[in-house]
Amino acid sequence: MAVRDFFKGKAAVITGASSGIGKDLALLWAQWGCRVGLVARREDLLERVAEQCREAGVDAMVFQGDVTDREAMERVRDQAIERFGFVDIVVANAGVGGLNPASCFDLDIHRRTMEINCVGVANTLVPFIPSMIEKGDGILTTVSSLSGFRGLPKAASYSSSKAMQGIFMESLRVDLRPHGVHAFCIHPGFIETPMTEHDEFTMPFKMPVRRSSMLISKAIARRRRVYLYPWPMKLLTWVNMALPRWLYDRVLPVLSGQKDTIKPRLL
């Protein structure tokens, strides 16, 4: 089946749809005939994305809300199911990047990163599980990161939040498999979005967002449980994972090209 046919007629809820990866997935899937529910905090941006989706001929809903707000995410579930009947795909994409060097570690940035990237992912996906189990169908996916496989320098908060997503999705996958519900974890390398519009460190093999959306869509349609891309960064990640700790500790700070002046901040 062509990838676009997989999405045709389905309904998807996507968090972080006001910008970057989430916005582009919504626009692409709308072009393919997928109804979309768009979640983020910046309502004006969401409305613009929704308008573009409607111009492609599909129903598009806007949910202004914060993924850290559990009740708000339950309302997203209620309203999306009421409007679409059934939500086939939920993408927990909303997230923040961040730098947090150990020498000047900021606990507020750490807490915020965990609230959005960890609790927010659970708040997004978990409300949809009962309806998916009832139907014996559905796809839950999160947009983690290749940075979730080892603790990257000056990124203790971001790296560990993304590692959590991988393990969280693996447990969901095992539990939900007998119910016909799929749980996937997507691990992108560097993608051209507002999150990577800075020069704090080198970003090899950075990829245009539309190419990224095509690869994510293919991975979902082909039911890839865990998907790492682009392939040169996947290879580098494997090499990283194989490095002994004494070598990793010396090589990674050099390879990452990070400036010594880096201060804690959300990206």
Ligand X SMILES: NC(=O)c1ccc[n+]([C@@H]2O[C@H](COP(=O)([O-])OP(=O)(O)OC[C@H]3O[C@@H](n4cnc5c(N)ncnc54)[C@H](OP(=O)(O)O)[C@@H]3O)[C@@H](O)[C@H]2O)c1
47 lies in the site for ligand X, by CB under 6 A: no
- Our finding on whether 113 is near ligand X (CB under 6 A) is no
Shortest Cβ 119–ligand X spacing (Å): 10
Beta-ladder partners of 92: 142
> Out of 149, 190, 201, 227, which residue is the one contacting ligand X (CB under 6 A)?
190
User: Which ranges in 86-139 belong to alpha helices (H)?
Assistant: 107-114, 120-125, 129-135
> In the set 27, 90, 116, 228, which binds ligand X (CB under 6 A)?
116
Strand partners, 188: 229
Concerning whether 158 is annotated as a catalytic residue, the answer is: yes
The span from the CA of 140 to the CA of 88, in Å, is: 8
Interaction between residue 109 and ligand X (CB under 6 A) = no
Candidates 7, 11, 12, 20: give the one binding ligand X (CB under 6 A).
20
**By CB neighbour count within 10 A (0-12 exposed, 13-18 middle, 19+ buried), where does 87 fall?**
buried
Compute the least distance from the CB of residue 169 to ligand X, in Å.
13
Which residues touch 201 (CB under 8 Å, ≥6 apart)? 256, 257, 258, 259, 262
Tell which one of 36, 90, 93, 128 touches ligand X (CB under 6 A). Answer: 93
Among 100, 141, 145, 213, binds ligand X (CB under 6 A): 145
Contacts of 108 (CB under 8 A, 6+ apart): none
| Residues classed as catalytic | 158
Interaction site with ligand X (CB under 6 A): 15-16, 18-22, 40-42, 45, 66-68, 93-97, 116, 120, 143, 145, 188, 190-191, 193-196
